[in-house]
Amino acid sequence: MIHFKACLFSHLEGSNLLSLEVSKEFRTLPKEKLAIAIPASIVSDTPHLREKTFKIGLIGRAAAVFRVNEIIIFMDRPRQKQEKELKLISTILAYMETPQYLRRKLFKLTPELRYAGILPPLRTPHHPLTDKSEDLRIGEIREAMVVSTAEKGVFVDVGVEKPVFIPEARLKIGRRVTVKIIQRNGILKASLTKPEETGEYWGYIVKAYRLGLGQILKKRKFELKIATSRYGKPLREILKQLRRKWRTAKSVLVIFGSPREGLYEIAEQEGLSIDEIVDFVVNTIPKQGTKTVRTEEAIFASLALFNFLLRT
Amino acid sequence: MIHFKACLFSHLEGSNLLSLEVSKEFRTLPKEKLAIAIPASIVSDTPHLREKTFKIGLIGRAAAVFRVNEIIIFMDRPRQKQEKELKLISTILAYMETPQYLRRKLFKLTPELRYAGILPPLRTPHHPLTDKSEDLRIGEIREAMVVSTAEKGVFVDVGVEKPVFIPEARLKIGRRVTVKIIQRNGILKASLTKPEETGEYWGYIVKAYRLGLGQILKKRKFELKIATSRYGKPLREILKQLRRKWRTAKSVLVIFGSPREGLYEIAEQEGLSIDEIVDFVVNTIPKQGTKTVRTEEAIFASLALFNFLLRT
């Protein structure tokens, strides 16, 4: 039995999770789960929404290129309310992750999405380009949304011109699910499935917390937590240890600082030392030519290194 | 004797080099020279100048973060005139590389620079933030532009409120030079110097060619030429060979494809095989989660890997 969660962008009252359940909270994650954590202020030094959108788009792309399963957004400025930034970043990231044919159905065109048109496509396996029912293959797995209910099942939109019937399913209209095509002739039919079955990278979930990094790390367990910082240990020094840990860890979190403040400063504001709340603080860009490396730049650089050095 | 070249953005008639001598063509380059080559069509899939500008800005940032000394832009669509793209990309990259205090003096505000305001600062050592003469230090090296000539030397703008005198120099007004402060009291004085003397990363030069990649590689000699491609050999397989070659090479060129066409297709259009015109074709992103990796993404990922694996 697979659970599905319905709420789209509802603020869960009394909770610190700014919920973005457009994505798949209850899905089983792949065996090696890779998450990244980014601060809410990543776009605070970019005045216009248009460039903010572009920058968030880069982060979504980086996540997809390097098969990230979850993006966590944390509050890094305890004295400011960062709700607006949390909502902006999480909405755009979740929108990008949604296949094109479901976007308008699952998202209201809120002000955050004003410049969504400039977002680059993810081009992941779960964003298929075919849109004709005759091109569907038996066994093909697609993201879908429930569009109507019947006595003996539900109809879903899988991005072709006709709805697809899922026998025996009971789901609310508007739910996003993953389905496998089981019949092409006559009435189109599909069954519910899990993204893991595809064996392919199937997008990321987004979680925006109304919490600082330290508080999140108390609530969420990761077997390996890596902070990236210019003042961290050189990657070369800790590579062996890191590799040993990564190979056995079922969940890995890689944490990035903001353009203005590194993770040492961000943790300090919570009265914490970053060295104590993560397993490694690492500098992945020896001899950087610039004084600072921006978050989106650090994500591409660090994930490229981890992808090559630790995941293959 | 250091040579300086005056022309700003003049098309050299009869030459295939779309000249961008705002930067320092005749400067001696550092011992290990790192160049990257990018196709003119990198921004062709981005409709608006504003996002084109942002994307080119990312490439300038990547070059600075990873201490790239030269950016070469080549024509990848032989059937199209790509002059406009060549000019756009090279103008923005050269503008970014110029210290803020010299930009308005060295660049006319041409249409290409309409959105230059959104470009991120490079934050390299040659873009100092101090702008008061009292904060200048003896021995400090700064980028400067000749603002007036005198009988016994020239005056340059080094980004402070007063001009600085260079005794015995004979240079035309408008030239960009690198100078070392030699006197702070009374009249400010400096001498001409080379960026190499700083021992720090000192920006990149930009060269836009009205030529295909194959033609450029006939004219320009690099001791090590690396093409990046999804269809290249896995980096792990060739890492040892690559490292051996990189360690002894005095000049390295890393070549990137466009968002629509990889380097195999680009070389084919010139009737060439990419395998034959470079030393290595390498895939730096094993198991990429997306169908394509964009040029600016590939630059960050590949240079991060080469920086870590080959340069330290």
Query: Looking at the complex, does the CB of residue A305 fall below 8 Å from at least one CB of chain B?
Result: yes
Separation between Cα atoms, residue B180 and residue B144, nearest integer Å:
10
pTM here is 0.90
**B13 — pLDDT class (breaks 50, 70, 90):** very low
Q: List, for residues B257-266, the tens digit of each pLDDT value.
A: 997 899 999 9
**Neighbouring C-beta atoms of residue A81, cutoff 10 Å:** 12
Query: Can you name the residues that pair with A189 across neighbouring β-strands?
Result: A165, A183
Q: List, for residues B69-128, the tens digit of each pLDDT value.
A: 999 999 999 788 899 999 999 999 999 999 999 999 999 999 999 999 999 999 999 999
Question: Are A124 and B291 an interchain contact pair (Cβ–Cβ within 8 Å)?
Answer: yes
CA end-to-end distance (rounded Å), chain B: 32
The confidence score (pLDDT) of residue A10 equals 31
> Two tokens at B105?
């003096």
Cβ-based neighbours of A159, under 8 Å, separated by 6 or more: A99, A100, A101, A102, A128, A130, A131, A142, A143, A144
The confidence score (pLDDT) of residue A100 equals 96
Q: Which residue has the higher pLDDT, A17 or B151?
A: B151
Separation between Cα atoms, residue B174 and residue A248, nearest integer Å:
60
State the smallest CA–CA distance between residue B120 and chain A in angstroms.
Answer: 9
**Position B39 pLDDT exceeds 60:** yes
Q: List, for residues A44-74, the tens digit of each pLDDT value.
A: 989 999 999 999 999 999 999 999 999 999 9
> Two tokens at A201?
């990278």
CA angle A255, B254, B97 (to 5 degrees): 75
Query: Looking at the complex, does the CB of residue B32 fall below 8 Å from at least one CB of chain A?
Result: no
Q: List, for residues B191-211, the tens digit of each pLDDT value.
A: 999 988 888 999 999 999 999
Token pair 């903001």 is found at A258
Residues of B in contact with A234 (CB under 8 A): 312
Query: Looking at the complex, does the CB of residue A124 fall below 8 Å from at least one CB of chain B?
Result: yes
- CA B81 from chain centre, in angstroms, equals 23
Separation between Cα atoms, residue B190 and residue B181, nearest integer Å:
4
Q: List, for residues B280-289, the tens digit of each pLDDT value.
A: 999 999 999 9
**Position B244 pLDDT exceeds 60:** yes
Separation between Cα atoms, residue B76 and residue B238, nearest integer Å:
27
Section B181-187 average pLDDT: 92
Section B181-185 average pLDDT: 93
Q: If residue A181 lies in a helix (H) or strand (E), which one and from where to where?
A: strand A176-183
Separation between Cα atoms, residue A201 and residue B136, nearest integer Å:
54
The confidence score (pLDDT) of residue A105 equals 94
Eight-class DSSP state of B22: T
Eight-class DSSP state of B159: S
Token pair 């400025």 is found at A77
State the smallest CA–CA distance between residue B123 and chain A in angstroms.
Answer: 5
Express as a percent the part of chain B with pLDDT over 70.
Answer: 89
Query: Looking at the complex, does the CB of residue A61 fall below 8 Å from at least one CB of chain B?
Result: yes
User: Which residue from B65, B124, B201 is facing A285, i.e. has the nearest CB?
Assistant: B65
**B185 — pLDDT class (breaks 50, 70, 90):** confident
Separation between Cα atoms, residue A204 and residue B279, nearest integer Å:
37
> Two tokens at B67?
């201490």
The confidence score (pLDDT) of residue A78 equals 79
Among the listed residues A171, A148, A242, the one whose alpha carbon sits nearest the alpha carbon of residue A26 = A171
Mean pLDDT of chain B: 90
Residues of B in contact with A67 (CB under 8 A): 287, 289
Q: Which residue has the higher pLDDT, A84 or B11?
A: A84
Mutate to test the interface with A, among B49, B300, B305 (most CBs of A within 10 A): B300
The confidence score (pLDDT) of residue B197 equals 83
Token pair 């091109």 is found at A135
**B17 — pLDDT class (breaks 50, 70, 90):** low
**Neighbouring C-beta atoms of residue A238, cutoff 10 Å:** 18
> Two tokens at A229?
């910082």
Separation between Cα atoms, residue B180 and residue B197, nearest integer Å:
10
Q: Give pLDDT < 50 ranges for chain A.
A: 1-14, 19-29
The confidence score (pLDDT) of residue B196 equals 84
Cβ-based neighbours of B247, under 8 Å, separated by 6 or more: B310
